[in-house]
């Protein structure tokens, strides 16, 4: 019996040590309901806790006051699959921060204070399936390559931001997109919107909640479903710089020809009168 227990002792020590360190690894202010989840939501945090275990997969940080994601965050926590930073004070995403987040499947940055989504903001997050960027009241700029590399992204939430327009490439570069929420933005259906409108019509089944936009010049709100390609027909007729140059050049040419023609006509009339005058003199004689 004894030798057997003695053999087991190192193993027992190791197991209890693993359990103890797991307990110790949970940041003091947070809960760790299972070995891979750290729940620090609603703890009044103004920055990320230091002592998050490096093998964390689900990190819940919603309802805090965190203003910034450190650039090496995803280098440290490279196993992260699920990151909830909803309702914090993030004002920007530094390009490169998410470039190593290759396992991330779910990212919630909704209800923050983001103002723009720069080119390649999410790096090559090839596993990302759901991205929430809603309810950022100052978010007015989304770069046309903001979502590049998100080859698995199925759901994108951009509702209730400050977007008045969007480059169509931002969405058309997402091969797996199934659902996009865009409602509650101050969209303006002017000529810049025409390309995006065509994409929206072709992909209307991906917009469960539709959207509204304001029509110039008086800005009254219409639902997208009330508009058709015809609503933007004037935009195709609108003039480009080349068109304007051609018009100006033709105008000048026509004027020049007209002046030359008048001059020629006047000369002809004058000659004719001179000729008639001299003929009359001859007849008088």
Closer to ligand NAG at the Cβ: 115 or 190? Answer: 115
Report the chain's C-alpha Rg in angstroms. 35
Smallest separation (angstroms) from ligand NAG to the CB of 211: 22
Residue 182 C-alpha from the chain's centroid: 11
Closer to ligand NAG at the Cβ: 162 or 258? Answer: 162
Contact predicate 123/150, CB 8 Å: no
Smallest separation (angstroms) from ligand NAG to the CB of 91: 6
Smallest separation (angstroms) from ligand NAG to the CB of 189: 26
Closer to ligand NAG at the Cβ: 42 or 280? Answer: 42
Using a 10 angstrom Cβ sphere, with 0-12 exposed, 13-18 middle and 19 or more buried, the burial of residue 152 is middle
Closer to ligand NAG at the Cβ: 138 or 270? Answer: 138
Closer to ligand NAG at the Cβ: 138 or 279? Answer: 138
Closer to ligand NAG at the Cβ: 4 or 28? Answer: 28
Closest-CA residue to 61 (of 79, 78, 76, 48): 48
Query: Cα(23)–Cα(274) distance, rounded to whole angstroms?
Result: 117
Q: Given the rule CB under 6 A, which residues bind ligand NAG?
A: 42, 63, 87, 89, 91, 113, 115, 138
């Amino acid at each position: 019996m004894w030798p057997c227990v003695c053999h087991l002792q190192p193993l027992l020590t190791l197991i209890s040590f693993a359990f103890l360190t797991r307990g110790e690894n949970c940041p003091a202010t947070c809960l760790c309901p299972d070995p891979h989840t750290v729940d620090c939501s609603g703890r009044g945090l103004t920055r990320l806790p230091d002592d998050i275990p490096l093998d964390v997969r689900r990190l819940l940080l919603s309802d805090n006051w965190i203003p910034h994601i450190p650039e090496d965050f995803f280098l440290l926590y490279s196993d992260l699959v699920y990151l909830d930073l909803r309702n914090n004070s993030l004002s920007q995403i530094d390009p490169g921060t998410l470039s190593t987040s290759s396992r991330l499947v779910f990212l919630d940055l909704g209800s923050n204070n983001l103002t723009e989504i720069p080119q390649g903001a999410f790096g090559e997050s090839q596993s990302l399936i759901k991205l929430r960027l809603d309810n950022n009241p100052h978010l007015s700029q989304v770069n046309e390559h903001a979502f590049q590399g998100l080859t698995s992204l199925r759901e994108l939430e951009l509702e209730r931001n400050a977007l008045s327009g969007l480059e169509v490439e931002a969405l058309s570069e997402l091969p797996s997109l199934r659902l996009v929420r865009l409602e509650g933005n101050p969209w303006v259906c002017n000529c810049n919107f025409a390309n995006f409108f065509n994409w929206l019509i072709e992909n209307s089944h991906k917009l469960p909640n539709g959207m509204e936009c304001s029509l110039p010049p008086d800005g009254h709100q219409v639902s997208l479903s009330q508009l058709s390609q015809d609503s933007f027909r004037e935009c195709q007729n609108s003039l480009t710089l080349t068109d304007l140059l051609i018009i100006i050049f033709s105008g000048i040419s026509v004027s020049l020809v007209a002046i030359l023609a008048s001059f020629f006509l006047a000369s002809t009339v004058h000659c004719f009168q001179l000729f008639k005058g001299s003929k009359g003199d001859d007849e008088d004689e």
